[in-house]
Structure 1
Amino acid sequence: MPRRRTSAKDCVPQQKEIKVAIYIRVSTTHQIDRDSIPMQKKDLMTYCEFILNTDNYVIFEDAGYSGKNTVRPAYQKMMDRVRNDEFTHILVWKIDRISRNLLDFASMYQELKKLGVVFISKNEQFDTGTAIGEAMLKIILVFAELERNMTSERVTATMISRASNGQWNGGRIPFGYSYDSNTSTFSVREDEAAICRKLRDLYLENKSLVYTARALNAEGFKTRAGVDWTPPAVWIIASSPFYAGIYRYNRYKGTVGRTINSENEWVVIPDHHPAIFSLAEHEAMKSLLKTNSRNIENPVGRLHTTSNVHIFQGIAYCGKCKSRLTSSPGRKSSTGFRASNYSCPLRRKSKKCNNKTINDIVLGEFVINYILNMLNAKKMFSKIKTPDELQKQLLCGSTFSDIDHIDTDGLNEYYNLLSRYSSDNSFIFAKRPQKKKAAVSKELASLRKEKERQERAMTRLQDLYLYSENAMSEKDFIIRKEDISYRLKEINHKLGVLSDDSDSFLSDEEFIKQASHFLIQSELKNKKYIYFKNLVNTVSPEILKSYIDTILDSVYITDSKVTSIVFKNGLTHNFIYK
């Protein structure tokens, strides 16, 4: 029976134009019938035009990816754009094109519900814009939740039973110990145990986690991973009863949030293994940790936690020693915003670096306004005639008043990039008068040329795999794809990109698109300057972080000043101050 054409539109606001994300995943099974690929695409496009009454759609394809999980580049890009409020519907051929994992699908659907996005599976006639489609998916979610809860209960009961019998339930072997899997027993590692005893003496004497970490590093002691000691690493040993020979299990509830169970639910077995500390020493350190706790409501033996979202966490680096900066919450302002502080770990651990701390207000204002200037430069690029004029636009605003200039290679690179891909209104790459290319170093120009060549090779390979009449085996496709991905990874690393995830690298064309698909475009539209404090009061930190992570690879800071920004496509802008 034909379905009512307006049903899918009923569940979205009438004033909002329908835009559909069509998702197609090609697996080994579907690769056998090669004609099914264009047929599916054509069928879903027809569904959009005649059932949803729209030709406003974008197609996302993953070639050669399994449905066992959602770690797929096109799927992740689609979901990022869905979270950016670009689509009202997701349309698939069958539910298993999204995922064969029921729990993954349930998680995705719950997110779509929160975002107000309609999910449609054409083959199974699941349309969450209709009552029956919504009901069927809710049944799936009920059984998914039941499966998850029953599995969790069985695993928990088994692990508690093992712990009660003195059996170790696995995990990282504590520093200072070795574990024999054949006899299921622990023994003391004297080389590491000596460091544990030194740590104990230092902490009991000085009563400071920070001082203890610095003293251990000053004497050249390293953790098992061969890195410097940190206050949290000292805390783990100073607070753990394991070093007093006590095996404790089931203290925490779950793995997310780490809430503490009531003590009568704990499994505690004394004299379980050889002790490095005496029970009296353990109790003395535990008492000191409680006294020194920054939050008296924080349970004893639990690290200080924060719900803050650190917008630049993971991409902020020290401009002096190149270490990744650590993030910590700062003071709360009168508006309720709590800025994050970013500091060099070597300064806190051992004072080997003297780089100053920077906070979100300074860092965010610089980065957001620089991106804003880049977007404005793209819009008005037809009026920009030279790299010097582009630099004037990029450094527009009081935030950049103490910058003398941008490194020539990075500036000229962006000028050439806009010459190729920029358009005043859209990304329609029609032929138009080409501006004279700006000069960049031979090495950089060679890397850029090779990057573009490999990106074209990747596109041709995917088209060949999907649409060529001469079938390519999945094995050949994967081998060639990995080879191109490896070459792109090497090129991007030479360009300064630190990310190890090859799927996170952006082509130059995709970089321009991503930069313009700013989730908070409404906040930036027609503005010449953004006050970061005002921005974080209107846009959630999660949204800001998601966008920043999408286009930026790393930001280098020296003495509270941004000295370099590396974008996901390898474009690097170095700032030279007056």
Structure 2
Amino acid sequence: MAKTKRDQNKPPAAVRCAIYTRKSTEEGLEQEFNSLDAQRESAEAYISSQKSEGWVCLKTRYDDGGFSGGNTERPALKRLLEDVVAGEIDVIVVYKVDRLSRSLNDFTKVMEVFDENNVSFVSVTQQFNTTSSMGRLTLNILLSFAQFEREIISERTRDKMAAARRKGRYIGGTPVLGYDVDREKSRLTVNEPEAEQVREIYNIYLEKKSLLATLSEVDQRGWSTKVWTTKKGIERGGQPFDKSRLHKVLTNKTYLGKVTYQDEVHEGLHDAIVDPEIFAQVQQQLEQNRVVQGVPNRKRTPALLKGLLHCDPCGTAMVATYTQKGKKRYRYYVCHKAQKRSWQNCPSKSIPAAEIETYVVDQIREIGQSPKLIKQTIKAVRKKQNEIAQKFAAEQSQLKQSLTTANRELTRQLQRPQGPDIDRLAELQDQIQNAETALRTTLNEQARHQQLEIPDEQIIESLSQFDRLWSSMSIREQSRCLNLLIERVGYNGEDGTVAITLRPTGLEEFLQQTTTEEISV
């Protein structure tokens, strides 16, 4: 049907256009006319060229200055998506596609939001529109290249760090006792007083032929781990030695003037401070001790409180062990710190296993037999669950903020005209990896906690049957049961007190597994 004259003169419906701009670093944003302004000016000119189609530019600004395109944790982008969902935008205009995102996965998710709300996407410099299939194909190709470029930069950084290691250079990390760091030359320099201390530790070990005996001597001399100051002026290290830290000193190839990279060992640019022959003798003695100490490790007796019992005065776990007289075996729990460092300073030292296990089990049985205690336990558990939920939220917020900050700094380092600071890059990569791992862990833990929710009535009924269930369990099943119900058992040898802390979700997990009157191993 032919249009009437009135239809032909009718202006097109207004197409509301939002401009999104982004710059990875904050450098230059203080200028009167910066990169964000330049991007916006180009987008405004493009919108003006489409005036005949009814395009109008919204006054609201969506500018992200100093934010990486590798993730979607950007305030202006979040506001943009909120307005899209609210139906306030018809077209998103950007200067270039990688301004919106450099991640293909993230971009796909953003495009899903656009599609669900009938919003088109336009790049000024790359001339395409997502309303057409060809536009979508072009978009995916461009975004794939943007992501490829980002990954290549990361690979080059790793390769550069590996090459520096192979040339014997120091590329960051915690300095070791005996050396200081020359950051300008990316190498270690000998700290002679500390180096003499390291050599003396090797000599003491060869004399004592025992880590514990060496540790005792080192403690008496008041020696500690390396004290050093970060670029930010924060002092680190200076901790007392334990078996683990002492073992690291005695096995560190850095003292031979070497640099290690994964399984490779290369000549370093720094001087050796330990004689190779002495180093070899120490390794031989350590190997002999490992073999000799490994022989008596016969089949272990099951320990009900393994991983649960702690020495309160020392703040460390108590581990299961035994002594044998003739054919009779006597089981104990001993303080790990006392076993690892010194028996003299621990008031708890050890406690007979049967004694502490019987006490803990009797306390759990009492909960199941007393309606009043059951109600008090449920109330305490619910309160603890709320506290944990708040803790999860706080942890996740902090980790996300840490990731955003580290990613911004990483981008700034990679875009520096004089090249990135290799030490700082190593620190940032460690920070990002640790934060991402921690975030995944806390999200998984939160999901697991949220899945556990059982009515109070079912808890009361099931706990009243605890005695009957306990008697029918094997030792391993009983151990599993206690690990479900108990978070921690604290023992204080000074006054002989025992404190039992129940797991917040332990009752729910226990009940879920006992609905068939069985504890799975």
- Report the TM-score range of the alignment, normalised by the length of the smaller protein: 0.3 to 0.5
TM-score (norm 2): 0.42
